[in-house]
Amino acid sequence: MRIGCHLTITKGLDKAAAFAAGIGANTFQYFTRNPRGGAARRIGPEEIGRWRRSREEHDIYPVVGHLPYTVNLAATGGRPGDFAAMVVEEDLQRVGELEGEILVSHPGHYEADRETALRQITSLLEKSLELDVPNRPVLCLETMALQSREIGSLEDLGYILRALGFPAALGVCLDSAHLFAAGWDLRTRAGCDRLVDRLEAEVGLERVKCMHLNDSLVPMGSRKDRHAVLGRGELGETGISAIIVHPFLGRLPLLLETPVDKYEDYGPQLAFARSLVGEGSLA
Ligand SMILES: [Zn+2]
């Protein structure tokens, strides 16, 4: 299976690949810039060269960039709108330079109403499709817990992709904790099947590129975004197991974003997930 976690790349991308391998990960996600601010570290050609070699040595695939939380793709005009357009353009280029396969973004939240927000996101993404991006990563919109004015139900993502004709440059990133909080019961095979059926109808399964594998601190349908350690939340061992043995969901690249004190703590959770499908730890 392809499973990894969110890591920092502040000490260098090549070091992140070696670190990932050391804790038993064969994929990872990183923030393309400061998650709460927006400043970006410049990554030079030497680091990219070391990164290519390290990534190959450690068999890391795919590599997933995540946009900062401060980006609101639904922001209309003014500075927040300009910032969102600028970050999408720059970070598609930056992830492409590293030959990263996926760039994940939260869809955003609405200010006036949902319709206007969905049209704004669609128009921003339409412009992004016209950009010339070497090694273009697939820009994936994430499914959200739907707290307050959040965009990110399957229907929202379906609306956006449909309006743009389901281009190959756009995709969907699932999040098991968000989906559960939004009302999807993923604790059984039947529940996972219902989700996959709806995904097929709304966005098409070939557009679903990865999943954030998180347990949920809050009950099903509570519409709050609170992640828990795998097996210790409301999804529990039964739920996490149902997801990762599922013939579609379990074959997606899985990325943990569960609460940890230090990145090494992902190691035992990765081993736990692998044990549920009868795989030994890679670490
Ligand atoms: Zn996210």
CA of 3 to the centre of ligand 1 (A): 16
CA of 142 to the centre of ligand 1 (A): 6
Structural contact between residues 92 and 133, judged by C-beta atoms closer than 8 angstroms? yes
From the number of C-beta atoms within 10 Å of its C-beta (0-12, 13-18, 19+), residue 95 rates as buried
Q: What is the CATH number of the domain that holds 19?
A: 3.20.20.150
User: Does residue 79 surpass a pLDDT of 90?
Assistant: no
Q: Give a yes or no: residue 282 inside a domain.
A: no
Between the CA of residue 252 and those of 4, 60, 232, 277, what are the distances in Å?
11, 14, 22, 14
How confident is the model at residue 39, as a pLDDT? 80
User: Does residue 283 surpass a pLDDT of 80?
Assistant: no
E strands, 126-193, in order: 138-142, 170-175
CA of 238 to the centre of ligand 1 (A): 23
Q: What is the pLDDT of residues 123-177, one digit of tens each?
A: 999 999 999 999 999 999 999 999 999 999 999 999 999 999 999 999 999 999 9
CA of 169 to the centre of ligand 1 (A): 18
CA of 109 to the centre of ligand 1 (A): 13
Q: Give a yes or no: residue 64 inside a domain.
A: yes
Q: What is the pLDDT of residues 232-272, one digit of tens each?
A: 999 999 999 999 999 999 999 999 999 999 999 999 999 99
User: Which residue is it, tokens 């975004």?
Assistant: 225
Q: Give a yes or no: residue 168 inside a domain.
A: yes
Q: Give a yes or no: residue 211 inside a domain.
A: yes
For residue 271, is it left (φ>0), alpha (ψ between -120 and 50) or beta?
Answer: alpha
Spatial separation of the C-alpha atoms in residues 74 and 95, rounded to whole Å:
22
Residue 281 — pLDDT band, cuts 50, 70, 90?
Answer: confident
Q: Give a yes or no: residue 194 inside a domain.
A: yes
Q: Give a yes or no: residue 283 inside a domain.
A: no
Half-sphere exposure of 252 (CA within 13 A, CB side): 26
How confident is the model at residue 112, as a pLDDT? 87
CA of 212 to the centre of ligand 1 (A): 8
CA of 216 to the centre of ligand 1 (A): 14
CA of 178 to the centre of ligand 1 (A): 9
Spatial separation of the C-alpha atoms in residues 235 and 217, rounded to whole Å:
9
Nearest to 166 by CA among 131, 122, 133, 196: 122
User: Does residue 17 surpass a pLDDT of 90?
Assistant: yes
Spatial separation of the C-alpha atoms in residues 164 and 166, rounded to whole Å:
6
Q: What is the pLDDT of residues 183-230, one digit of tens each?
A: 999 999 999 999 999 999 999 999 999 999 999 999 999 999 999 999
How confident is the model at residue 119, as a pLDDT? 97
CA of 144 to the centre of ligand 1 (A): 8
CA of 160 to the centre of ligand 1 (A): 18
How confident is the model at residue 77, as a pLDDT? 74
Nearest to 29 by CA among 80, 88, 95: 95
Q: Which residues, 6+ apart, have CB-to-CB distance to 13 below 8 Å? A: 43, 47, 48, 50, 51, 54, 55, 98
Q: Give a yes or no: residue 184 inside a domain.
A: yes
CA of 141 to the centre of ligand 1 (A): 9
How confident is the model at residue 7, as a pLDDT? 97
CA of 16 to the centre of ligand 1 (A): 19
CA of 130 to the centre of ligand 1 (A): 25
CA of 103 to the centre of ligand 1 (A): 10
The boundaries of the domain holding residue 115 are 3-276
36: number of Cβ within 10 Å: 9
pTM comes to 0.96
Q: What is the pLDDT of residues 23-63, one digit of tens each?
A: 999 999 999 998 777 788 888 899 999 999 999 999 999 99
Structural contact between residues 4 and 270, judged by C-beta atoms closer than 8 angstroms? yes
CA of 46 to the centre of ligand 1 (A): 29
CA of 175 to the centre of ligand 1 (A): 8
How confident is the model at residue 37, as a pLDDT? 75
Length of the chain: 283
Q: Give a yes or no: residue 60 inside a domain.
A: yes
Q: Which amino acid is at 28?
A: F
CA of 184 to the centre of ligand 1 (A): 18
Spatial separation of the C-alpha atoms in residues 70 and 79, rounded to whole Å:
12
Residue 280 — pLDDT band, cuts 50, 70, 90?
Answer: confident
Q: 243: which 2 tokens? A: 């997801």
Count the domains in the chain: 1
